[in-house]
Structure 1
Amino acid sequence: MSGVEFSIDRPFGIYLWDYFDQAFTAVLGKSANDFAFVEGETPFSTIPEVVVGCVTYLMVIFGGQYILRDSMPLRPKFIFQVHNLLLTLVSLAILLLLIEQLVPQLVRHGLYWTICSFDAWTQKHELLYYLNYLVKYWELIDTVFLVVKKKKLGGDEKERADGFKFLHVFHHSMTMVLCYTQLVGRTTVSWVPIVLNLTVHVLMYYYYFRTASGAKIWWKKYLTTMQIIQFVIDLFVIYSCTYTFYANKYALQLPNFGTCSGGEGAAWFGCAILSSYLVLFINFYRMTYNANKNKKNAAAAAAAATVKKSKKI
């Protein structure tokens, strides 16, 4: 391995994949360059495994809530900190490795080729997408922490708490399914939602790590804003790819950029799930921050009324 040398192929000055390959080989005894995702052979590569994962997740969550219904909340602070720190670092590592692979493609071939060409789906991309998919199983532990801590969204409004619970459980389980469908469908555009999701998750898990240590982080509100922006960008890109695929295949008289690589079923599932995420996160934002704003305004009005009343006395 050579020293620091910035180039199109080395956007970070060093080739991170070489270091990753060394670590991968040390842990698994084979090179990362030899990996191939094969349905039925690669772990967690079949529909039954995904279904069992989702069912187990739901059983643990709702079963845990029932079992712990009369117990005091647990505070596994240290384990929670380690969990979030590791997810921050793992998400960052996958993100940087993906960027390293994408920069040469984007510079040499352009955006359309990188999101739609079959050749843009490389062996290295496939391994990183698979690792991102496996991380989604790990992230299911987030909800376990909520269960043992008996965590609810701030405030007493049952609607907000229930809305948060549904969003959290639905988002975690369906994202795992979404990653599986795109991996099997070999949708080249997968890197767009994955890169954006990893970027948000690096900040999100860092936020959880810091707040678990007692730090006060002022930008919590902007995490939800980032997630909403993420889904807007995702949908714009994915719907564009879906449109150009169908226009090129069935209606050549319509303007299009050409065909786009990936399974049709995977594309439609991705559109549906990401659309639902956008709606749910906007609703979550509305319920949470608008409710907090109204609460602050009501408190300020009450304080002003008290001052006014005291002056009269």
Structure 2
Amino acid sequence: MSSGTQQLVFPVYLYSYFEQAYQAVMGKPSVSFQYVQGVTPLSTGLESFSIMVTYFVVIFGGQWVMKNFQPIRANFFFQLHNLVLTLISLALLVLFVEQVYPIYRAHGLFYSVCNDGAWTQPLELLYYLNYLTKYYELVDTVFLVLRKKKLEFLHYYHHSLTMLLCFTQLNGKTAVSYVPITLNLLVHVFMYYYYWRASCGVKIWWKKYLTLLQITQFIIDLGFVYFCAYNYFSATYYPTLPHVGTCAGTESAALFGVLLLSSYLFLFIQFFFKTYKAPAVKPAAKKA
């Protein structure tokens, strides 16, 4: 849909400003973008896997090197990093909402998460830009290493594999991608805002609820991806089973998404109870 016929979600059509910015930076219109596996930068498994391996070498090698040095706070750069990611996440979120809502309004929820027609050129560009941010978010861990903070398994597992998740869904063209992506962007707006304000010395009381928001995000994600995967496999292999219809996307992308998001939910729930559950008071301590 062009900006002239686009149903407005906000008072102005924000994507038109994005198109102008894209033209200024790239020197060509945004409508010229097409994601082509093997041609578009960072569109091959070798590139993504190589960067993931480099990420692990850097963070664990960095931990070994930092044993001989005092922590490097780098507060200004840390604050700037988190502020930039707050703004990027917010910008992508509103652009996604602006593109997805008219599709949902015109065709319904099932169409928006399962139909090939819901994979539009503007959304493909936004999916790709969101994918690129996952590489920049790896810098989060570098700051932890420089500050000599403990690296939780959940942190580097989530950072490294979310990058691959976005890669697989982009290549698989799974229409339901907008659900986990928009929810993730919403979480990231609050999360990076929290890190930015906390690094400025502001005490934030809602960190616990941020983790609860992340858990809620994965529950909603799984509701959608299980539904879409079930409909795809039922329509393709077991048409006698009750289903609404088939769903767009490749089988490998669907299976990887289901398995990875399931593991995220389990690990975040585990992290929540480990971090926030009050330790049991021993009888002797109670008596004292």
TM-score exceeds 0.5: yes
Q: Is the 8 A contact 1:8 1:103 kept in 2?
A: no
Q: CA deviation at 1:180?
A: 0.1
1:9-48 correspondence runs (5 A):
9-48=7-46
Q: Which residue of 1 aligns with 2:97?
A: 99
Q: Residue 272 of structure 2 is aligned with which of 285, 289, 298?
A: 285
Give the Cα separation in 2 of the matches to 1:213 and 1:183.
Answer: 36
Total equivalences in the alignment = 283
Give the Cα separation in 1 of the matches to 2:6 and 2:136.
Answer: 33
Q: Does 1:76 align with 2:74?
A: yes
Give the Cα separation in 1 of the matches to 2:81 and 2:31.
Answer: 28
Q: CA deviation at 1:70?
A: 2.3
* Identity between Structure 1 and Structure 2 (%): 55
Q: CA deviation at 1:230?
A: 0.6
1:129-168 correspondence runs (5 A):
129-152=127-150, 165-168=152-155
Q: Residue 249 of structure 2 is aligned with which of 262, 269, 275?
A: 262
TM-score, length basis structure 1: 0.88
Q: Is the 8 A contact 1:244 1:259 kept in 2?
A: yes
Q: Does 1:222 align with 2:209?
A: yes
Q: Which runs of 4+ in 1 moved over 3 A?
A: none
Quickly say closer, same or farther: Cα 1:241–1:230, change in 2 above 3 A: same
Q: CA deviation at 1:127?
A: 0.3
Structure 1, residues 257-290: CA drift from partner, whole Å, max 9, x if none? 1000000000000001101101111111111001
Q: Does 1:208 align with 2:195?
A: yes
Q: CA deviation at 1:71?
A: 1.3
Q: Residue 86 of structure 1 is aligned with which of 80, 84, 87?
A: 84
Give the unaligned 5+ runs of structure 2. Answer: none
Q: Residue 58 of structure 2 is aligned with which of 60, 77, 87?
A: 60
Q: CA deviation at 1:247?
A: 1.1
Give the Cα separation in 1 of the matches to 2:31 and 2:7.
Answer: 17
TM-score, length basis structure 2: 0.95
Q: CA deviation at 1:8?
A: 7.5
Give the Cα separation in 2 of the matches to 1:52 and 1:98.
Answer: 29
| AA aligned opposite 2:61 | G
Q: Which deviates further from its counterpart, 65-74 or 54-63?
A: 65-74
Q: SS at the partner of 1:294? A: coil
